[in-house]
Amino acid sequence: MLKAAVYAVRLEQVWKLMISIDIATDLGWCLAERGWLVEKGSQRGVEGGVQVERCSGMILLSKAMPLGWAVRLRDSFQSRPEMDGWKMKRWHEYIRGALQGELEQERKEKRGKMDVVMRKAYWD
């Protein structure tokens, strides 16, 4: 099963959820303060036709989440102002809520072994 890292970055005005199969490269972008390439919106920070936003924070949510789950989480993600103050426990609650269907399916497939799945905690 292909897995991906999942992390949230704080850009200039919003949080954005990202997935990566090479987290080291992504970290390099943030630490080098080069910024993140994002969809064009305003002309602010546009370089070579692609908007660049500076990263002011990053939270690693999972080192190895199943890729399908990571894509679903990224696609359903909605930035909230209160995320600026969230601790890891609150991020994990958000993930559990967003992936409720996938976790329930996993519970059914494991037939009562969900305690093992939860201890493994894909996002830890």
Structure tokens at 76: 């359903």
Cα–Cα distance for residue pair 46/42, rounded to 1 Å? 8
Helix (H, G, I), strand (E, B) or coil at 22: coil
Task: Report the b/e string of 48-62 with b at 16+ CB within 10 A.
Answer: eeebbbebeebbebb
Q: How many of the other CB atoms lie within 10 Å of CB of 20? A: 14
- Model confidence at 124, pLDDT cuts 50, 70, 90, reads very low
The 10s digit of each residue's pLDDT in 59-108 is: 899 998 999 999 999 999 999 999 999 999 999 999 999 999 888 887 77
Tally of structural domains, the chain: 1
Residue 48 has pLDDT above 70, yes or no: no
Residue 79: give the domain boundaries: 3-120
Structure tokens at 123: 């996002």
The 10s digit of each residue's pLDDT in 26-44 is: 777 666 655 555 544 444 4
